[in-house]
Amino acid sequence: QVRLFESGGGSVQAGGSLRLSCVVFGHNSCSYDLSWYRQAAGKEREFISEIYNSGRTTYIDAVKGRFTISQDTAKNTVYLQMNDLKPEDTAMYYCKRSTAIESMGSISCASEPPIWGQGTQVTVSS
């Protein structure tokens, strides 16, 4: 069974940094994209960043230039380096694994649903 486990959250002051990690336990021959989302209290979960199987990355405007997504395939881990944190970054942060387009030609890979981690809390004080 595949599981994602996030860590690295915590409480920091504005301007500080944190690095989130998401370890993927259990994998097969499919290719995957890995992404980070966040959900602030009382708000909907929002997409932040994604690293595609191709290595291409994408970010929302609110975090561009401050957050960096990366992965270590040998460790089955995706990271989110967060610098210059702001109070509005306060949220529960989640990682998600979804089948990459490169594997959509495989019925077994394409049928896999996205998998989410349990989240890690980030709190930024002013």
Nearest to 82 by CA among 115, 59, 114, 55: 59
**Which phi and psi (to 5°) does residue 122 adopt?**
-120, 125
112 CB-contact burial (10 Å; exposed 0-12 / middle 13-18 / buried 19+): middle
User: Which neighbouring-strand residues pair with 56?
Assistant: none
Kindly report, residue by residue over 30-76, the tens digit of the pLDDT.
889 999 999 999 999 999 999 999 999 999 999 999 999 999 988 99
Please check whether residue 100 is in contact with residue 48, taking contact to mean a CB–CB distance below 8 angstroms. no
pLDDT of 1 over the 90 cut: no
Which whole-number Å values give the CA distances from 18 to 27, 61, 66, 110, 123, in the listed order? Answer: 27, 19, 11, 34, 10
Question: Which two tokens mark 18?
Answer: 């944190």
Predicted local confidence at residue 80, as pLDDT: 98
